[in-house]
Amino acid sequence: MKCQYCEKPATFHITELTEPSGPQVMHLCEEHARGFLQKDNASPAVSVAGALAKQLNLGQTKKELAELDQKECPVCGISFFEFRSTGRLGCPYDYTHFEADLEPLLINIHDSLEHCGKRPRRAAASADSQATMIQLRREMEEAIEREDYERASEIRDELRKIEDAGTRPVDSDKSDSSASASGDESK
């Protein structure tokens, strides 16, 4: 297959899902694909990581960026450099810890700071309990490294209590009593 803009063989096949009429398929040679992907306008073909890197490099000196990269979350330990590289945060607390640095990025990417989409039907664990669990897991690993197995088992028990409280269905009391009632009838 040939490039849509010249006679060279098409080595890049790009599908954009931006048109309401359906997907737009492009067959481009390496040269035209590079030009297309490096456009200044925001395109879905540009990865989130690329947008992140572009946003973070704008208006920041090398020194400021180096200082920001050293910033670490006290709960999960992820550095801002790791976030910039992967485009993923380590825990819910990161949104609070890196808030000032993430706000311009979120506004640029999503045009909002608030979630506007669907939410899970089951209530997920709160950000505080997730942060607590991450912190406890880290403490447990440190206790194991110090060979303080008593403390590690105490932390493990705390983690289990938090996990059990978070995974219990909303109507667990009703389902438990109905299960035991039906079990009594069969005996």
Whether 125 and 166 have beta carbons less than 8 Å apart is answered as yes
Neighbours of 73 (CB within 10 A): 22
Cα 186 from Cα 68, distance rounded (Å):
65
Q: What is the pLDDT of residues 45-87, one digit of tens each?
A: 445 555 555 544 445 567 777 787 888 888 888 888 888 788 8
Q: Which residue has the tokens 């040269």?
A: 31
Question: What is the pLDDT confidence band of residue 154, given thresholds at 50, 70 and 90?
Answer: very high
List the single range of 69-83, 103-117, 154-168 with lowest mean pLDDT.
Answer: 103-117
- DSSP calls for 85-106: HHS--SSTHHHHHTHHHHHHHH
pTM for the predicted model, two decimal places: 0.37
Whether 25 and 15 have beta carbons less than 8 Å apart is answered as yes
Cα 33 from Cα 3, distance rounded (Å):
9
List the single range of 13-17, 62-66, 84-88, 144-148 with lowest mean pLDDT.
Answer: 62-66
Q: What is the pLDDT of residues 125-135, one digit of tens each?
A: 676 778 888 89
Percent of residues in the chain assigned helix, strand, coil, to nearest 5: 55, 5, 35
Question: What is the pLDDT confidence band of residue 39, given thresholds at 50, 70 and 90?
Answer: low
pLDDT at 53: 53
- DSSP calls for 120-180: -SSPPPPHHHHHHHHHHHHHHHHHHHTT-HHHHHHHHHHHHHHHHHHHS-TTHHHHHHHHH
